[in-house]
Each structure stands twice: as structure tokens, then as C-alpha cells.
């Protein structure tokens, strides 16, 4: 289809989308005017003479409310958007605005501007140069663009109520997203890689930073001199400084983020009155959480896993390690039991011994502690240690293909094996990436089976499992002799209650699991608990059905 036909069809589609039909009264809605930009020279059926050769020429010829559609090509311009317009690129990978290493490829000076579908590159190198720069504007939408090799990828300066969503910032040498003196904005669903700070907010209040992915930045998310920032559902990996860094920033909500393989997971400096909940900080090289000169911080239902130093406090006080209702955080190095010995209900998911924390270096005997440490991770996660792990997952899989089930840790393991007691001739099944494919015979895993998995990722990896939560007790067939099985339950039960319809000594006489952190097998005694996410070896005296309680 040539460009002229495509343009006509697009024009009709846009006009039809703006027609409003109401029974009895049918107001006439004026369709927006669409201008087209094509950098190809000459005329002809693929380049109608009414096309503009430059984006700026189309903007100059437009009025508020116009749509400017830009065909693929590289436009060597410093575009100034000084009207309320919608700019649409034909393909974000191949519709390129190149600023020529001067000023901004796109500079927005009007409210209500929408920009989507562009790559912006080669801004100037001054402090406020950026791929897309919005200054003193409101109610704009910058969606699904790429910023590469700029001083800053995307910049909001004195700009409010604007959305930055679905954008990608790569190799911008200062910041991927820079929010300065700007309030009530949404930075959501973006990807940012290889910047000094992936997302940086300074002197900006009441903003939301959510569902972003940061990879190999100096700081994944940095907040300075700002208040009431919601930081949620972000995934930050391999930051060479801090995953999330708050500096002189107060009253913030930090929830449901995953920060891993960074120098520090989260660092609060002179920041107060903030809540840190439902986050996962794992395998960070120095500290999982570092609180310095920060007071009145509430932390609960966080997973603090396998960090070199789990937590460090310096000159910080009024740190509350639970939700006020008897639940604290999950610590991967906690060794306490959940057997009721501490006066709580056995199996309630909270350890019976407190965690005193001599990780504070205040030197004045002031120690923080978690009174109610959780015995299982929060959320649909299992932490897999480097080396062998014996695991299972509680959810029913709609797709049991091994690669799909383990998709969240692709590239972090080399071998999976399972013992199938129903196949007495060849019970061991294997899948190993180091073997030729024809030598593998394990292709599917489900929620009823336990499986060994060998993790090669340094420091371990967080496995997120998917599926449907069982609505009824799941039954596992146990064959006479040894069985390797899963634990399809969301509740930790002691050995007696966990075996449910079976009697230890009558139906089964031995239950073992594997402590991957200590790298050793462990036999379950009467007060030991079946744990969510673990796999088990069970020896049955006769064939029977184990009805696993939910």
C-alpha cells in the first residue's frame, strides 16, 4: 500500500473515531486536521506534494488540535512544539528525530501535547538538554517513545499533571528520566538502561513512579528534596550505586518493588516518615537496606534475602519493623521456628523468636529488632540459592511446559530433574541445557511434583511462579517406597497436620526436604513444618493418596 492510500485511510479512521452519535440529538463533531510529514524528496504516488518535508514546517502550519503524522525517516531537526498538538510517528524504531548534538530533538512549550512513536537522539550536552524536553507545561502525554544517546532522555521542568508511559531510555549519559520542580506526574511502565540515574526526581512532589524497569544504571530510582512520592511495582536490577535512593525526602510510599544485584537495595539519607512495604531486596552486593540519619520509618512485609549485609542503620531511630498487627518481614537468614514455642499459634507464619539486630553501628547500644519475623517470603516468590534447590510451587499451571513455567528465571539455571515413582523402570527424568536435546526426557512440570533445579546465577535468583490458586485440596498419589513430591498449599503446616488424611508411621514413615541455604538434607520431625515452595521426599509404606490441605 503506498503512502498516499495509507494517509487517506488513516485520515478516514481518525475522522470516524471522532463522530459522536446520540439518538434523537446528533451533534456534529469536527474531525481533527491531519498534516503529514515525509522526509523523502520529490513527488509522486509515494510522496504526495502536500506532505511537509520537516516536522517543524508542519507545526508552523498547524493550529491547536491538529494531528501531525510523521512517516519513517531521520529528521535532523530541533523541533519546537508551541501549540496543543498530537505528534504521531509511523514506527518508534524508524521515525527518528536527530538533534545533531545541539539543544533538544523535541522541545515542548504548550499544554496538552501528545507525542508517541518516535526515537529521539543526539541532544545537546547542557544541563537542561534532553531527547524530549517539556518546560512549564501541563496535561501532556509522552507515550511509547525511545530516547537514546542524549544528555537526558526525557525531561519535565516546571511541568505538572503529565504522563510518561511506555517509553524506553537507553544510553543517556546523565539521566533517563529527569523530573525537576514538577508535581502530580505519572512515570509508569518505562524501561531505562545505562544512565547515571534511571529515574531522578528533584524538588518535585506528589508524583507516582510505578511499573518501571531499570537495568544497569547508577541509581535505579533517585528522589531528592521531594515529598509524597509513590514508588511502587518497579523492578530494579544491577544498579552500580543504589537501587532506590531517597535524599532529604519525606512522607513517601515505597511498595511492591524488586531490587536485586545492586550495590545497595535501598538507601534512605535524611529521609523521614516513609513506609517501606511488600518489597523484595535480594542479592545486593553490600546492603539490602541502608538507613542513615533517617527517622520514623515503617518497614513490614518485605523480603530481605541473601544480601551481603541485610540491613545497616546509622544514626536512625523510630524504625518500626512490623505492621502493628503482629507481622514483620521475611529474612532469609532467620533460623527461628514457627512451632508455638514463643506463645503464638503454631504455623501462623510468624517466627517464635525475635530478631535482635546488631547491624546498627550507632555505638550507643541502641538496637533495632523485628519482633514478628515471617517464616516464608511475601508474595508469589521463592528464592533459589546458587547450587541445588528442591522446590515446588503451589499454583495449578495452565501450561506445564518446563521452559514456560520457569520463564521468570530463564538463563539462571542449567539443570532440572525429577524422580517419578510411578515409572519403576526409569524414575529419574532430566532436562539439562548442557546436554544435547535428544538426551533430555523431562519437558513438563506441574504443581504436584517436586523437582531439583541447579541455579548458576551468582548469589541466587528470585523465582516468581504463576498459575491459579487451588480451590480445593490437591491429592498426590504416593507409591510404595520413596516419592519426590510438591507441596500444593499456601499454608505451612506441621508434619502431622500437613499429612492430613495420612498417619505418620502407618502410611508414611519418613519425610525429608533440602535446606538449600545450608546445602544439606533435613528430616522433618513432628514439630517441623511443610513450607510453601519446598519439595519433599516422602517414603510410603503402601500406595496411598495424600490429600494436601490448603
- Residue 401's CB: how many other CB atoms inside 10 A? 12
Across the strands, what pairs with 462? 383
Residue at which a domain ends, from 379, 414, 436: 379
- In this prediction, residue 29 carries a pLDDT of 56
Q: Which residues in 211-236 are b (16+ Cβ under 10 Å) and which e? A: bbbbbbbbbbbbbbebbbbebbbbbb
Cβ atoms of 251 and 226 within 8 Å: the answer is no
Which of 195, 225, 250 terminates a domain? The answer is 195
169 DSSP β-pair partners: 147, 192
**Residue 127 has what pLDDT?**
82
Is residue 246 predicted with pLDDT exceeding 60?
Answer: yes
User: Mean pLDDT, to the nearest integer, of 236-256?
Assistant: 96
Residue 284 to residues 14, 177, 287, Cα–Cα distance (Å): 49, 24, 6
* 3-state SS class at 516: coil
> 415 and 537: one domain?
yes
pLDDT of residue 397: 87
The pLDDT confidence band at residue 49, using thresholds 50, 70 and 90, is low
Distance in Å from the first CA to the final CA of the chain: 58
The 10 Å CB-count burial string (b at 16+, else e) for 480-504 is eeebbbbbbbebbbbbeebbeebee
Q: How far apart are CA 455 and CA 466, in angstroms?
A: 19
Q: Tell me, yes or no, whether 515 lies in a domain.
A: yes
Chain position carrying cell 543504589: 242
Note the pLDDT of residue 48.
57
182 and 322 assigned to the same domain: no
At residue 364, does pLDDT exceed 60? no
- If you search the block for the grid coordinates 524536553, which residue do you land on? 133
Is 70 exceeded by the pLDDT of residue 358?
no
- Give residue 488's pLDDT: 94
Q: Is 33 helix (H, G, I), strand (E, B) or coil?
A: coil
204 within a domain of the structure (yes/no): no
| Cα–Cα separations (whole angstroms), residue 90 to 164, 279, 322 | 19, 38, 51
Q: Are 390 and 342 members of one domain?
A: no
Instruction: Give the SS3 label for residue 194.
Output: coil
Same domain for 318 and 266, yes or no, is yes
How would you classify the pairing of strands 253-255 and 274-277?
parallel
Domain check: are 272 and 392 in the same one?
A: no
More reliable by pLDDT, 480 or 359: 480
pLDDT tens digits, one per residue of 255-300: 999 999 899 999 999 999 999 999 999 889 999 999 999 999 999 9
Q: Who's near 92: CB < 8 A, 6+ residues apart?
A: 116, 117, 118, 119, 144, 145, 146
- 101 and 244 share one domain: no
For residues 275 and 305, membership in a common domain is answered with: yes
* pLDDT band (50, 70, 90) for residue 532: confident
Higher pLDDT, 111 or 334: 111
Same domain, 178 and 35: yes
> Is 542 among the domain residues?
yes
Q: In this structure, is residue 211 part of a structural domain?
A: no
Is residue 23 in a domain? yes
Nearest to 230 by CA among 255, 198, 248: 255
The number of domains in the chain is: 3
The secondary structure of 133-152 as a DSSP string is EEES-BS-EEES-EEESSSE
Q: How far is CA 511 from CA 199, 299, 448, 523, 537, in A?
A: 49, 36, 16, 6, 6
Spacing of C-alpha 241 from chain mean position: 18
In terms of domains, do 103 and 36 share one?
yes
Is the model more confident about 255 or about 460?
Answer: 255
Of all residues in the chain, what percent carry a pLDDT higher than 90? Answer: 70
322 and 396 in a common domain: no
- pLDDT tens figures, 321-332: 999 999 999 998
203 located within any domain: no
Residue with cell 518501571: 212
Q: Which domain-ending residue is among 346, 379, 412?
A: 379
Question: Which residue range forms the structural domain that includes residue 119?
Answer: 1-195
Q: Helix H segments across 18-78? A: 55-61
Residue 227 in contact with residue 204, Cβ under 8 Å?
no
Confidence of residue 367 (pLDDT cuts 50, 70, 90): low
Secondary structure (H, E, C), 481-503: EEEEECCCCCCCCEHHHHHCCCC
Indicate the pTM of the whole model. Answer: 0.81
Is the domain of 397 the same as that of 507? Answer: yes
Contacts of 23 (CB under 8 A, 6+ apart): none
Tell me whether residue 220 is in a domain: no
190 in the same domain as 79: yes
pLDDT tens sequence across 397-411: 889 999 999 988 999
167 pLDDT above the threshold of 50: yes
305: which 3 cell numbers?
Answer: 534475602
Amino acid at each position: 500500500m503506498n503512502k498516499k492510500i495509507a494517509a487517506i485511510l488513516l485520515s478516514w479512521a481518525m475522522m470516524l473515531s471522532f463522530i459522536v452519535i446520540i439518538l434523537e440529538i446528533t451533534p456534529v463533531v469536527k474531525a481533527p486536521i491531519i498534516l503529514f510529514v515525509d522526509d523523502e524528496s520529490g513527488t509522486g504516488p509515494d510522496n504526495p506534494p502536500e506532505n511537509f518535508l520537516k516536522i517543524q514546517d508542519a507545526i508552523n502550519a498547524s493550529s491547536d488540535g491538529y494531528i501531525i503524522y510523521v512517516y519513517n525517516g531521520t529528521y535532523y531537526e530541533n523541533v519546537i512544539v508551541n501549540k496543543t498538538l498530537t505528534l504521531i510517528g509511523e514506527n518508534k524504531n524508524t521515525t527518528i528525530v536527530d538533534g545533531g548534538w545541539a539543544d533538544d530533538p523535541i522541545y515542548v512549550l504548550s499544554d496538552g501535547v501528545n507525542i508517541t512513536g518516535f526515537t529521539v537522539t543526539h541532544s545537546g550536552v547542557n544541563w537542561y538538554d534532553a531527547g524530549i524536553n517539556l518546560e512549564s507545561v501541563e496535561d501532556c502525554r509522552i507515550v511509547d517513545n525511545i530516547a537514546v544517546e542524549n544528555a537526558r532522555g526525557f525531561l519535565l521542568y516546571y511541568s505538572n499533571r503529565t504522563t510518561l508511559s511506555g517509553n524506553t531510555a537507553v544510553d543517556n549519559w546523565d539521566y533517563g528520566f529527569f523530573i525537576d520542580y514538577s508535581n502530580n506526574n505519572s512515570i509508569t511502565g518505562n524501561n531505562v538502561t545505562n544512565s547515571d540515574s534511571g529515574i531522578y526526581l528533584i524538588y518535585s512532589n506528589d508524583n507516582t513512579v510505578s511499573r518501571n524497569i531499570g537495568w544497569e544504571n547508577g541509581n535505579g530510582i533517585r528522589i531528592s528534596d521531594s515529598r509524597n512520592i509513590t514508588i511502587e511495582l518497579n523492578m530494579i536490577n544491577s544498579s552500580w550505586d543504589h537501587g532506590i535512593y531517597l535524599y532529604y525526602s519525606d512522607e513517601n510510599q515505597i511498595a511492591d518493588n524488586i531490587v536485586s544485584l545492586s550495590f545497595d537495595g535501598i538507601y534512605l539519607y535524611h529521609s523521614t516518615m516513609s513506609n517501606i512495604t511488600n518489597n523484595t531486596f535480594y542479592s545486593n552486593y553490600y546492603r539490602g537496606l541502608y538507613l542513615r540519619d533517617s527517622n520514623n520509618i515503617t518497614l513490614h512485609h518485605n523480603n530481605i534475602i541473601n544480601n551481603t549485609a541485610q540491613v545497616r542503620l546509622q544514626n536512625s531511630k523510630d524504625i518500626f519493623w512490623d505492621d502493628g498487627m503482629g507481622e514483620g518481614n521475611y529474612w532469609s537468614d532467620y533460623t527461628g521456628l514457627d512451632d508455638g514455642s514463643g506463645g503464638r499459634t503454631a504455623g501462623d507464619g510468624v517466627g517464635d523468636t525475635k530478631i535482635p539486630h546488631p547491624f546498627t553501628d550507632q555505638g550507643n547500644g541502641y538496637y533495632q529488632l523485628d519482633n514478628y519475623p515471617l517464616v516464608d517470603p511475601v508474595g508469589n516468590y521463592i528464592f533459589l540459592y546458587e547450587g541445588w534447590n528442591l522446590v515446588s510451587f503451589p499454583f495449578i499451571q495452565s501450561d506445564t511446559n518446563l521452559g514456560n513455567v520457569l520463564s521468570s528465571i530463564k538463563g539462571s539455571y542449567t539443570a532440572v530433574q525429577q524422580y517419578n515413582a510411578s515409572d519403576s523402570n526409569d524414575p529419574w527424568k532430566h532436562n539439562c541445557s548442557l546436554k544435547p536435546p535428544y538426551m533430555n526426557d523431562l519437558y513438563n512440570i506441574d504443581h504436584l511434583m517436586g523437582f531439583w533445579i541447579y541455579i548458576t546465577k551468582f548469589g541466587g535468583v528470585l523465582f516468581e511462579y504463576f498459575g491459579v490458586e487451588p480451590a480445593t485440596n490437591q491429592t498426590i498419589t504416593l507409591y510404595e517406597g520413596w516419592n519426590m513430591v510438591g507441596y500444593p498449599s499456601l499454608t505451612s503446616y506441621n508434619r502431622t497436620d500437613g499429612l492430613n488424611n495420612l498417619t505418620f508411621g502407618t502410611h508414611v514413615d519418613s519425610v525429608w526436604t533440602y535446606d538449600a541455604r545450608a546445602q544439606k538434607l533435613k528430616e522433618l520431625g513432628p514439630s517441623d513444618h511443610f513450607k510453601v515452595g519446598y519439595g519433599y521426599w516422602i517414603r510410603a509404606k503402601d500406595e496411598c493418596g495424600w490429600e494436601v490441605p490448603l
